[in-house]
Structure 1
Amino acid sequence: MDRFDAMNVFVRVVEAGSLSAAARAIPMSLTSVSRHLSALETQFGMQLLRRTTRHIALTNEGRVFFERAKSILADLDEVGALLSAGRSEPAGRLCIATPTLLGRTVIAPLLPCFLARHPAVSIELLLIDRAVNLVEEDIHLAIRVGRLPDSALVARKLGDVRMIVCAAPSYIERRGAPCSPDELRRHDCLVFSDQPGPVDWHFKSAGTRRSARITGRLWANALDVLAAAAIDGAGIVRAPSWQVANDIEHGRLRRILQDYEPMHAPVNALFERARRTSPSVRAFLDYLVESTKTGPLAGMSRFGEALGATNG
């Protein structure tokens, strides 16, 4: 039995949620589906699925195999598209993960032009405000803001953004504005985080780095939610300069703690070393770099610099 056929059946079963649903979708007899799964488990000497004809559940080993199998099959599809076209041009599926607001306002507007340039490419854009695992989640490229931990991933810098602290005039009139990061503990802070709990906001003054422990009154894993709450007077938010540019310009938000603003945060594109030779990944990276000079990313950087020049 062909192991790639068996791998494809396994992935289809997990995605469909049952053996019978996968059999109808492939299409293939239920007996053949079961035979492919049994062959895989025999080959690896372990159970991958706990299953009936109606329900399935992945074992721990099955979950690992499922993620890798999806990645392998996606790579095979991409190679097949390239070979069938008889060229080394970008083709196939390209999965991109980016923070929600950055993806919506900066990355998404770039995609129509890229797709027009490369008609054989299809893009899956994931708006996710957390650090993704490129290997386990079968993501080709991720955009991240901030300093990166050590890893085996390849990083390509796209630019920088400035993180600023701001609040609505109504909040400042009601509670006053903090004069130093230490005073934030007495204020209502709106915290970007995957889960409630203390976080550190980093600042810089006279060349010295310092941190403030923030407990917060509202936590969210989406920056646009926090910015909207800040505009409504709920508290103090720390956000990228380009995100709140229009609100500051029109007086809905005011900058505070300007003397303590940290250095710009880098924006990087991350990808696996093995993806370096992928025509689609290379083409999209080159397109992003081009856009940092002429497109929305360039506008974002120029705004951050303008804030520093006029208000810093």
Structure 2
Amino acid sequence: MDSLRSIESFVKAVQAGSIAAGARLQGITAAAASQNIQRLEKSLGVRLLVRTTRKLAMTESGTLYYREVEPMMAALSRAQSVITEFQGQPQGRLRIGASVAFGRHVLMPLVPTFTRQFPKVSLELVLSDHSLDHVSEDIDISIRFNQQLEPGLIARKIATVPVLFCASPAYLHRKGVPVSPEALSQHDCLMFRVPVDGRLLSWGFQRDGIYYEPELTPSIVCNDIDSLHRLAVEGAGIARLAAFVASEDIKSGALIALFEQGETPSVGLPLSFYACYRDRHAMTNKVRAFMDYLVEVMPSTW
């Protein structure tokens, strides 16, 4: 077992990019992981890793060794999942990644019911607007919208969420109501900067089946959706928000949805959300149970 733990520390360090990050995936200290790797190197009689202050790199021997042991460790992990779940209730740790807004507004209200149904499953939620890597961050399921899908992942659609363009009554009283998306060039637009690549998230509309993006100039830019939501409620401008973020404020009158009325209404393109996993080997009972649960409880309307 000690040898396996040492090999696991080596594999996790390579996958995560550092010994400390790999140790977190193992649930041990960085010092313990470093000692594991040192023992492995001593038993093999070769240096596997080159440690510098800026990065971790494999030696030639390390590259050859990793190529052989990584599939073995993956197979052992799958075997453990199969045995622990065989003819039994889903159990074990389930690590789920999602964007901050989706996690806060959609997942959090749903999690307690799932954990009551499956008390042997221990959930770990990783909320981030940065790109999540299933291997290096040991993610079992990631929730992504259509623009975030990556080749190689298996994706199951769980929801289609309307996108709304909203402003407070106070802002609209002060600046006027834009009658069409083209009028946004005369308004204060609150825009989201995508943390993954630094681009501004475009505001796309569809009218009579034709997609277009109006010209606009951002007045405030932020990389957090909930902050843009708060700014809109406080009257700072017009924001592009998923329905699960804005719907309660629209119901209460704190925000007003724009462009959806009139003879030729313009609507923002909806977001399609998917539950993603690595490959067919990653489809354990606990993964299947959570994905089935999401499909079952997602609202049909937002």
Determine the C-alpha separation between the residues in 2 that align with 1:40 and 1:161.
Answer: 54
Matched, 1:59 2:61: no
Q: Could you list the per-position Cα deviations for residues 283-307 of structure 1 after superposition, in whole angstroms to 9, with x for gaps in the alignment?
A: 111111121xxxxx22xx323xxxx
Q: Which residue of 1 aligns with 2:16?
A: none
Q: Which residue of 2 aligns with 1:35?
A: 39
Deviation at 1:262, TM superposition (A): 3.0
Q: Which residue of 1 aligns with 2:203?
A: 201
* Aligned residue identity for 1:302: T
* Aligned residue identity for 1:35: R
Matched residue of 2:177: which SS? Answer: coil
The runs of 5 or more residues in structure 2 that have no matched partner are 14-18
Determine the C-alpha separation between the residues in 2 that align with 1:185 and 1:119.
Answer: 52
Determine the C-alpha separation between the residues in 1 that align with 2:154 and 2:119.
Answer: 26
* Aligned residue identity for 2:301: R
Q: Which residue of 2 aligns with 1:239?
A: 241
Determine the C-alpha separation between the residues in 2 that align with 1:129 and 1:41.
Answer: 42
Deviation at 1:227, TM superposition (A): 0.7
> Are the equivalent residues in 2 in contact too, given 1:74–1:93 (CA < 8 A)?
no
Matched, 1:97 2:94: no
Q: Could you list the per-position Cα deviations for residues 9-60 of structure 1 after superposition, in whole angstroms to 9, with x for gaps in the alignment?
A: 445852469xxx655x57x9x6x75332456793xx753423xxxxx65424
Q: Percent identity?
A: 30
Determine the C-alpha separation between the residues in 1 that align with 2:274 and 2:84.
Answer: 33
Matched residue of 2:241: which SS? Answer: strand
Q: Which residue of 1 aligns with 2:111?
A: 111
Determine the C-alpha separation between the residues in 1 that align with 2:179 and 2:164.
Answer: 14
CA 1:136–1:41: 2 relative to 1, 3 Å:
farther
Q: Could you list the per-position Cα deviations for residues 183-237 of structure 1 after superposition, in whole angstroms to 9, with x for gaps in the alignment?
A: 3233221112235654421101112111135442222232211111001111110
The runs of 5 or more residues in structure 1 that have no matched partner are 51-55, 292-296, 304-312
Give the RMSD, CA atoms, in angstroms. 3.6
> Are the equivalent residues in 1 in contact too, given 2:140–2:282 (CA < 8 A)?
no
Q: Which residue of 2 aligns with 1:47?
A: 49
Deviation at 1:2, TM superposition (A): 7.1
Determine the C-alpha separation between the residues in 1 that align with 2:44 and 2:287.
Answer: 31
Q: Could you list the per-position Cα deviations for residues 152-207 of structure 1 after superposition, in whole angstroms to 9, with x for gaps in the alignment?
A: 21111112111010111121122222222233233221112235654421101112
Q: Which residue of 1 aligns with 2:5?
A: 5
What is the TM-score with the length of structure 2 in the denominator?
0.77
Q: Which residue of 1 aligns with 2:153?
A: 153
> Are the equivalent residues in 2 in contact too, given 1:6–1:40 (CA < 8 A)?
no
Matched, 1:210 2:212: yes
Q: Which residue of 2 aligns with 1:164?
A: 164
